[in-house]
Amino acid sequence: MVQDLSSKMRASLHTLGCRLNQSESLLMGDQLERAGYRLVPFGQPCDLAIINTCTVTRLADAKCRTAIRRLIRENPGAFVAVVGCYSQIGYKEIARIPGVDLIVGNGEKLNILQYVSLGKNEHPVIIRDRITKEDFSIEFVGERPYPRRANLKIQDGCSFVCSFCIIPKARGPARSRDLSNLLEEARGQVARGVRELVLSGVNLGTFRSGEGDLVTVVDALNALDGLERIRISSIEPTTVPLELLARMNDPYHALLPFLHLPLQSGSDKVLSSMRRKYTVREYLSFVHRAKELVSGLCLGTDIMVGYPTEGEREFEETMRTFAENPFSYCHVFPFSERQGTLAARMKVRHDVAVKRMRSAKLRRLSERKRYDYYRSHLGREATVLFEDPRGNFWPGYTDNYIRVVVQSNEDLRNRIGRVHLDRLAGNVVEGRLVEVVPDQLTANGRSSALSAG
Ligand code: SF4
């Protein structure tokens, strides 16, 4: 049962890891406010602290433990709840940290308020039910204004078996959110000021609800008044419906020209031992098709280095594949052995130094590719959704994910502007504001149509 709490109770939420965690933290924050808590930034004194954790690598686990310890040190009286993927997998390690009161896995994470009490526990209560296979709905209780980009959870879990990945154990099998339920949240998010929704899940392309798939979701969201932008977060290469590409290229559709397709390796030998579902040639053939069909497409990827079967030769193949193809950037992940995965049973292990060196090489190349991508847009106009300012400098992203900053004395927060992209400045593009697009003109991808000419 939800506790009856005075409005003076302060709650703090800290999120580690992926967009899915961020979307769930937004929902938990709404629940806390509804229950009478006042949300305060992480690090400030509070009565209840929730840490939403990640377990994708050993480093992620270590970061979670550091955040938990820091929180307990700074807030010795707070009721401390640790939720999410690390709680699901590493609950025994978390239970050994003195001061933790509650550990909740992924199954019950969004029901956290049922388990929160006001007294500290001598030993943590552990709630870690099996994760069901059922599709799901989530009650949306958001009331506070939230004028910024938000993640919308539409899917959870994964039924693929990539050899290195612990996520199917942490989040369970693939399942989808009920279509009308997710639209209800989307409407609520738009009503509170959200203009860009980032669709989030573990394996988004496997979304199914009745007869509907990911294209159905995107089209239904496109029809919502006031929703300007829809962005798809990371999606598995073999699961992207081709119809999505036509929508990305349609300036009157809110779906943005952005694809983040995890490649993981540029070597077929490594891909096969990772149990990925494609060859390098298949992946690249899709990527080139997407680049042809979607003008200005931003193409990002994830690459893992130091996988057990990756020798120097395979790493060089990966470098070449990434260098010679139209990627805009990559996120680099050094292989991390996760107990319970197939890769954890492989005998070969690379030195940390090898993984570091390969990561550094690939990251340097990624930076060069990102600059090249940004540079190729200089001199053009683009639409930018502005975020919170620093002084009178307003940062934001173009629809195809170029980080831009403009100087202006106008209040641009959460507004969309047409910007002339002038020059590279560090890792952003400096632009000149041409005009702020009136809000009534921007609905349903209209602002993209303005910059498309
Ligand atoms: S597709 Fe592979 S890497 Fe992605 S969550 Fe599923 S098992 Fe993990």
Ligand 1 pocket by C-beta < 6 Å: which residues?
158, 160, 162, 165, 167-168, 202-203, 236
Indicate the CATH number for domain 10-127.
3.40.50.12160
Q: Could you tell me the residue ranges of all domains in the chain?
A: 10-127, 150-375, 381-452
Helix (H/G/I), strand (E/B), else coil: 169: helix
Closest atom, ligand 1, to C-alpha of 168: 7
**275 CA from centroid of ligand 1 (Å):** 10
pLDDT of residue 451: 58
Closest atom, ligand 1, to C-alpha of 275: 2
Closest atom, ligand 1, to C-alpha of 165: 8
Q: Pick from 230, 236, 235, 202: which is nearest to 217 by CA?
A: 230
**162 CA from centroid of ligand 1 (Å):** 6
**203 CA from centroid of ligand 1 (Å):** 7
pLDDT of residue 449: 59
> Quick one: average pLDDT of 371-377?
97
**Among 3-7, 92-96, 384-388, the least confident range:** 3-7
Helices (H), 325-434: 352-375
pLDDT of residue 2: 44
pLDDT of residue 119: 75
pLDDT tens digits, one per residue of 406-427: 999 999 999 999 999 999 998 9
Going by alpha carbons, the residue nearest to atom 8 of ligand 1 is 165
CB 16, CB 94: distance < 8 Å: no
pLDDT of residue 143: 87
**Among 80-84, 130-134, 246-250, the least confident range:** 130-134
Quickly list DSSP for 252-289.
TSSB-SEEE---B-S-HHHHHHHT-S--HHHHHHHHHH
Helix (H/G/I), strand (E/B), else coil: 383: strand
Indicate the CATH number for domain 381-452.
2.40.50.140
**163 CA from centroid of ligand 1 (Å):** 9
- Res. 173 pLDDT band, cuts 50 70 90: very high
Mean pLDDT across the chain: 93
- Res. 438 pLDDT band, cuts 50 70 90: confident
Going by alpha carbons, the residue nearest to atom 1 of ligand 1 is 160
CA distance linking residue 278 with residue 287, whole number of Å: 12
> Quick one: average pLDDT of 7-14?
87
- Res. 345 pLDDT band, cuts 50 70 90: very high
Equal fold, 10-127 vs 381-452: no
pLDDT of residue 51: 97
> Quick one: average pLDDT of 7-11?
81
CA distance linking residue 337 with residue 329, whole number of Å: 25
As beta bridge partners, residue 425 has 428
**339 CA from centroid of ligand 1 (Å):** 15
> Quick one: average pLDDT of 195-224?
96
**105 CA from centroid of ligand 1 (Å):** 19
Half-sphere exposure of 359 (CA within 13 A, CB side): 16
Residue that the structure tokens 């979304």 belong to = 207
pLDDT tens digits, one per residue of 278-312: 999 999 999 999 999 999 999 999 999 999 999 99
Residue that the structure tokens 């949240």 belong to = 185
pLDDT of residue 453: 43
Cβ-based neighbours of 122, under 8 Å, separated by 6 or more: none
**299 CA from centroid of ligand 1 (Å):** 19
Closest atom, ligand 1, to C-alpha of 171: 5
pLDDT tens digits, one per residue of 26-44: 999 999 999 999 999 998 9
Closest atom, ligand 1, to C-alpha of 161: 7
> Quick one: average pLDDT of 192-212?
96
- pLDDT for residue 3 is more than 80: no
CB 107, CB 84: distance < 8 Å: no
**160 CA from centroid of ligand 1 (Å):** 6
Closest atom, ligand 1, to C-alpha of 264: 3
Amino acid at 195: R
pLDDT of residue 441: 57
pLDDT of residue 447: 58
pLDDT of residue 349: 84
pLDDT tens digits, one per residue of 114-164: 998 767 888 999 998 788 889 999 999 998 888 889 999 999 999 999 999
Helix (H/G/I), strand (E/B), else coil: 90: coil
pLDDT of residue 1: 40
The token pair at 430 is 């400096």
Indicate the CATH number for domain 150-375.
3.80.30.20
